[in-house]
Structure 1
Amino acid sequence: MLVGKTADGLVINLLNYSKDEVERLRKKLFFCPSCGSSLILKNGAVIRAHFAHKNSTECSSFSEGETEEHLLGKSLIASWCESDGIAYELEAYLPELQQRPDVLLEGKYAIEFQCSFLSAKRMEERTNNYLQHGYQVIWLLGRRFFMKEKITNVHRLFLNRNTKLGVYLWELDVDQSGIRLLYHIEQLSFLPEVFYSQKYWQKEQDSLLAVLAYPERAKLFLQRRYDLLPLYQKQRQVIQKNLAAKTPSFLKEQEQLYLLGTNFSVLHPIFFLPPVNCSLGDLSGLYWRVKCWCHLADSRTIGYKHLLNQLLTEKNRIPITSRPIEQEEWQEMLYSWLNILVKFNYISVEKGHIHCLKMLAIVIDEPSREVFLEKMMRNKTYISRLPKQI
C-alpha cells in the first residue's frame, strides 16, 4: 500500500516523496486508513517504498504481500493522471462499500490492477458492489495474466463485452508504461486457439480518460474469416482423441448429448457451427444449439423474442460455463446460430419471426453427413464481424 495516516490524521502518499524523504518519515507512526492498525514503512533497495501492516490482520481493504508490479502499476496510473490533469485518489477508501480501489478517477472510475489470483466469488462481489453504488469499475490485468495462446478461467472472470468490440480485456504493462486492450477475442469450440486484435496506448502520449472510454466510442469495421470444413474435421479429431483419453470435460458433454438422444459421433455437423465459441465458456455450446433447434422444430414458426425468452427461462438448466451468461451474450449466441441455419436454408427470418423450412435430423448417418459436408465446402467460410449484431 502506498497511502498511510499519521497519528494526527495526516494522509501520506509515498508517491510524493523521494527515497531520502521516505527514510526520514520512518521515525513517525503510521496507521492503516481502513482498519486503523499500525503500519510499517518499508523502504528497501528492491521494492519501492510502501506500507505494510505491522501485525497479521483481517483488513477488509488490503492483503499482505503486495508485489513490486502492483505498486508500480498504481504509481503508473497515478502519474498518468497527474500528467493529464485528472483528479484522482490513490487507494481511496469507500466506507459505504468497505472497499478500496487501487486508484479512483474523478470520483467515479474505480481502477483495479489485478496481479494475483482472485476467486470468482470475490471478484463478482467487488464488481457488483462498485456498480450498485454508481461506480464504473475497470479491471486491468498484470503480466502474470497476459493473454497468450489460450483463454484461461482467470481470463473469463475479467472479460467484458459490447457490440463495438465484441469480447475484450484490459492489460496494464508496467514495463512499457502502457495499457493494452485485447478485443474481438474469439476461441474455437474444442480447439485451444484464441484469436484477438489489440490496441496499445502509452503514458504521456494518450489521454487516460480517452483510453478507458474507448470501448464505448470505438468505430471499427472488422471481419475475421474461418474455413468451416477444415475446422470441423479438426474438431472431430480432437473430440475422438479426448473421448479415448476419457477427458472429464468431453465425457461431461457427451453425457449431456445422450440426454437429448444423440452423441458426438452421430450429431449433425451443423450443430458444430459456428466454429467460434460465442460464450467463451468451458463447454462448446452443442447442448444449447440442440435445445434451441428442438424449440424451433416443435413450433415450426416462432417469434425471435419468444424463442430468446424460452432460452433465458431455461438458461440455468443449459450447461455452458461455470460463470453466469448475460442476456446480451445469449442474444449474440442465438443470432450467430440462426445465421448458420439461414445460411444452410433450414430456416427463414421475417419481421421478427423464425420459420422452419425443412426438418433437421439431430442424429445423422454417414452418407447424409458426407452430403452435408459437400454443402459446407460450397459455403466454406464463417465471417465474424465488428460491430457485433444481436
Structure 2
Amino acid sequence: MFIAIDEVGNEIEAIHASRSKKYYCPVCQSEVIVKRGDIKIAHFSHQNINMCERYLYRRESPLHLKLKNNLYLMLKPNYDVRLEYYLQEIEQIPDCLVECSVALEIQLSKISPSLIMDRTNGYKTLGIDVRWIHDDSGIVAKNDTIYLSHFQISTLNQFHLFTVDSETMTFYMYRVIGNVGGMRWRYEKKKISYHDLIRPVEDIYEFIKMDRVFIDNEIKRARMMRSVRNKTLSYLYLLQLTADELPTLFMYLTPFERFIEEPQLEWKLYLYYHIKNKSFDYHAFLEYITLRKVNTNLTSKDIANGLLYDFKKILRISNE
C-alpha cells in the first residue's frame, strides 16, 4: 500500500513518510510500517496482514506495486485520481480510482471468476466502471486466435480485455469477437494510451462468416468427445444432416453467442431443429442456455432474446 494515515489523521504517501513516525492503515486502523530501499518502491506494510483480510487487502508483489505506482503517476497530471481509495460501502480498494467513476485494477494473480464478478458488481452499485488490467506477457494468442481462461473472460469489459507491458508501461486492448471452440476466440489487438483506460468502452456487434473447414473442425471436435450425449451430434442425427449439407447460416459467429457456454454450432442446431419441427418452447430455451461469467447488465432473458434475434438475422442473411 502507498497511502497511510499519520497520527493526526492526514493522508501520507509512502515516499514522503518518516521512519521515526507512526502510520496507520486507512481501512483497519492498525499500525503499518514504511518500507523503502534500492530495489523496492517505497510502500507501507501491515505488521500483521490478517488484520486486513476481510477488506480483500493482500500482500502485493513488487511488480504489482511498480505498475500501480507508475499508472498513478501517469494519470495524476491529467485526472482527479486517488491511489488506494477505500470504498467503505463495498469494502473494496481499487488500485486507482479516476474521476470517481472508473476503477483501474492491476490483476496479475489468477482468482476465481466468481470473485471477479462480485467485485465488478460491487463497483457497479456505486456507478463505477472497472478495468481489470492484465500483464500482457500472460496472454496466450496465436495468429487471429486468443486463448482465454474462465478467469480472463470474467474480467472482460464489453468483451474488451486490457493489458499492460510491465517493462514499457505500454497498454493494449483486445477486442474479443467470437468464440471458435472451447476457450479459443477470434480477436483484434491494438495499442492504446492510458487515456483510453478512462474512456467508455462500447461493444461492437457484428456477424462473422467462417468457412466450411471451421464447421468440419467443430464436428470433429464433438466426435472426439466420444459421448453419446453430445448435443451437437444428436441434433445432426435428428436432422439427418452432414457437415456438407449444413445451411450457410451455421457458418456465422454471432454477437450474443459470446454470452453463453454452448458451442456456437450446437445452439444453432437446437433452434433449427425445434423451429423446423414446430416444437420450440421459449422457457425450455431459457433453461437450455448456460450463461458465461462475464461483465454484463443483461439478464438471461435479454441474452435469450438476443440469440433469437441473431438466429433470425443469420437466417435472413443466408437466404439473400
TM-score by length of 2: 0.79
Q: Separation in 2 of the partners of 1:144 and 1:329? A: 33
Alignment map for 1:12-31 (pairs within 5 Å): 12-14=12-14, 17=15, 25-31=18-24
Q: Which residue, 318, 330, 341 being the options, matches 2:315?
A: 341
Alignment map for 1:236-315 (pairs within 5 Å): 236-243=219-226, 251=227, 255=229, 257=231, 269=243, 270=246, 273-274=250-251, 276=253, 278-279=257-258, 281-297=260-276, 311=282, 313-314=283-284
CA spacing shift, 1:131–1:321, aligned 2, 3 Å: closer
Q: Separation in 1 of the partners of 2:205 and 2:286? A: 34
Instruction: Give identity over the alignment, percent.
Output: 21
The number of residues matched between the two structures is 306
Q: Separation in 2 of the partners of 1:58 and 1:315? A: 47
| Residue in 1 that maps onto 2:288 | 318
| Residue in 1 that maps onto 2:181 | 189
Contact 2:210 2:251 in 1 (8 A): no
**Which of structures 1 and 2 has the larger relative contact order (alpha carbons within 8 angstroms, sep 6+)?**
1
How far off its partner does 1:170 sit?
1.4
How far off its partner does 1:8 sit?
2.2
Post-superposition CA distance 1:279-315 (Å, at most 9, x none): 2654314443344235533559xxxxxx9xx64x446
Contact 1:189 1:275 in 2 (8 A): no
Q: Separation in 1 of the partners of 2:220 and 2:234? A: 22
Q: Which residue, 230, 233, 246 being the options, matches 2:213?
A: 230
Contact 2:116 2:154 in 1 (8 A): yes
- SS class of match (1:57): helix
Max Rg structure: 1
| Residue in 2 that maps onto 1:88 | 81
Which segments of 5 or more consecutive residues in structure 1 lack a partner in the other structure? 162-166, 244-250, 301-306, 349-390
How far off its partner does 1:33 sit?
0.6
| Residue in 2 that maps onto 1:103 | 96
What amino acid maps onto 2:293 in structure 1?
R
Alignment map for 1:16-95 (pairs within 5 Å): 17=15, 25-59=18-52, 60-84=54-78, 86-95=79-88
Q: Separation in 2 of the partners of 1:171 and 1:181? A: 6
Alignment map for 1:136-147 (pairs within 5 Å): 136-143=129-136, 145-147=138-140
Q: Which residue, 149, 155, 164 being the options, matches 1:158?
A: 155
How far off its partner does 1:258 sit?
8.8
Post-superposition CA distance 1:32-79 (Å, at most 9, x none): 110112212222333322222101414233433301222122212211
CA spacing shift, 1:196–1:287, aligned 2, 3 Å: closer
Q: Separation in 2 of the partners of 1:258 and 1:221? A: 25
Which segments of 5 or more consecutive residues in structure 2 lack a partner in the other structure? none
Q: Separation in 1 of the partners of 2:2 and 2:293? A: 33
Q: Separation in 1 of the partners of 2:290 and 2:221? A: 19
Root mean square deviation, CA, Å: 3.6
How far off its partner does 1:235 sit?
2.4
How far off its partner does 1:142 sit?
2.6
Q: Separation in 1 of the partners of 2:316 and 2:242? A: 16
Contact 1:140 1:171 in 2 (8 A): yes
Q: Separation in 2 of the partners of 1:82 and 1:66? A: 22
| Residue in 1 that maps onto 2:109 | 116
Q: Separation in 2 of the partners of 1:29 and 1:315? A: 61
